[in-house]
């Protein structure tokens, strides 16, 4: 894979692969810690998969034993009841898919435009690209379940990033704008409305303006590329802004959030019109100071302490959500 990437992207791919030599010792330690965590996560998922398989076998055996212990008449009733329950569940899922499709189609007409800028893939390792793909999948899954979904765009959707996204089951049927071009090209007639969201901006977002198009940098930077989105926006001559995080809570580290966290915060705000609730419901507890973490238990009734590790573990369940669109939703490339 690396050899092929290098042939396709030349010096840029080599730059992405050889970044370790330019890292400080502290950054290298952080990267090693991240790699160990990802390996542990993969091991955990494999274990969960095996446990799920064993649980399925146990339930199947119990079902067979139950059928064998009753009369033929009772057996027929049990089987019919199970078929009826499955049919009901399938109908409910079908109705949910239809509702999701209707909401997302309406969002393409009048929803808040939110762009994920995917022009940074040459700065990321394969593992980081995969991480970003998972985050994008999570973003789509969350958006399709919102009462007021946003009008999501993926720009710069090409190269290795585009290849990885196209491998996702059902991706071709996502009701989302997918552009090979940059946002500057795809939205050139609306340049005056482009707003790049970056923690380095001095401008603070008070409210989401439906006439604006908010851009989120699609970069898993691991602290290597600080200020890169701000610099890009300044060079392009477009507006910048940051979320009003500091107005509502104290961060225990930097205010840099993952792509899925930023998107989910924006979607929460579109529904609630309340920044405080949006931040406390989305930002992981480990990124907040102790006082804020305790306060958040009141905001969400004890639900909000979901660490990013736990959220990443939910990606597998979100895959099914994304795949649901395969059988129902029309293509919107």
pLDDT digits (tens, 9 = 90+) for 271-313: 999 999 999 999 887 766 644 544 544 444 433 333 434 444 4
Per-residue pLDDT of 135-147, as tens digits, reads 999 999 999 989 8
26-49 tens-digit pLDDT: 777 777 887 888 888 888 888 989
Whether the per-residue pLDDT at 260 is higher than 80: the answer is: yes
Q: Mean pLDDT over all residues of the chain?
A: 80
Of the candidates 172, 180, 200, 221, the residue annotated as catalytic is: 221
Say how far apart CA 230 and CA 154 lie, in whole Å: 19
Beta strand ranges found along the chain (DSSP E): 113-117, 151-155, 177-179, 194-197, 213-217, 239-241
Torsions phi, psi of 176, nearest 5? Answer: -160, 150
User: What pLDDT, on a 0 to 100 scale, did the predictor assign at position 328?
Assistant: 41
Collapse the DSSP code of 251 into the 3-class scheme (helix H, G, I; strand E, B; otherwise coil) and give the result.
strand
**How many percent of the chain have pLDDT more than 70?**
76
pLDDT value, residue 211 = 95
pTM of the model: 0.68
Choose among 194, 206, 263, 186: nearest CA to 232. 194
Assess whether 313 carries a catalytic annotation.
no
The answer to whether 118 and 156 have CB atoms below 8 angstroms apart is yes
Q: State the Cα–Cα distance between residues 289 and 303, nearest whole angstrom.
A: 17
At residue 102, the pLDDT reads 82
Q: Looking at the predicted structure, is the pLDDT value of residue 159 above 80?
A: yes
* In the predicted structure, residue 168 carries a pLDDT above the cut 70: yes
Domains, the chain: 37-97 (no CATH), 111-287 (3.40.1280.30)
């Amino acid at each position: 894979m690396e050899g092929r990437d290098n042939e396709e992207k030349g010096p840029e791919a080599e730059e992405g692969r050889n970044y370790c030599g330019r890292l400080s010792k502290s950054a290298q330690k952080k990267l090693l810690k991240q790699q160990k965590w990802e390996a542990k996560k993969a091991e955990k998922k494999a274990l969960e998969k095996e446990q799920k398989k064993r649980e399925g076998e146990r339930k199947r055996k119990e079902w067979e034993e139950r059928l064998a212990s009753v009369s033929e008449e009772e057996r027929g009733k049990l089987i019919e009841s199970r078929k009826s329950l499955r049919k009901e569940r399938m109908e409910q899922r079908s109705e949910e898919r239809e509702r999701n499709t209707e909401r997302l189609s309406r969002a393409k007409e009048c929803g808040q435009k939110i762009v994920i800028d995917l022009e940074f893939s040459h700065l990321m390792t394969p593992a980081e690209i995969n991480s970003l793909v998972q985050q994008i999948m999570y973003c789509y899954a969350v958006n399709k379940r919102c009462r007021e979904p946003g009008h999501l765009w993926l720009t710069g959707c090409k190269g290795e990033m585009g290849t990885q996204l196209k491998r996702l089951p059902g991706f071709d049927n996502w009701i989302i704008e997918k552009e090979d071009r940059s946002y500057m090209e795809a939205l050139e007639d609306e340049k005056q409305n482009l707003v790049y969201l970056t923690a380095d901006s001095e401008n603070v977002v008070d409210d989401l303006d439906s006439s604006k198009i908010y851009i989120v940098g699609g970069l898993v930077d691991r602290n290597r590329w600080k200020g890169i989105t701000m610099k890009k926006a300044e060079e392009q001559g477009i507006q910048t802004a940051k979320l009003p995080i500091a107005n509502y809570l104290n961060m225990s580290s930097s205010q840099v959030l993952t792509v899925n966290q930023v998107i989910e915060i924006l979607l929460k705000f579109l529904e609630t019109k309340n920044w405080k609730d949006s931040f406390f419901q989305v930002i992981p507890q480990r990124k907040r100071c102790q006082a804020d973490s305790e306060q958040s238990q009141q905001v969400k009734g004890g639900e909000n302490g979901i660490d990013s590790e736990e959220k990443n573990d939910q990606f597998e369940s979100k895959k099914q959500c994304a795949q649901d669109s395969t059988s129902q939703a029309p293509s919107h490339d």
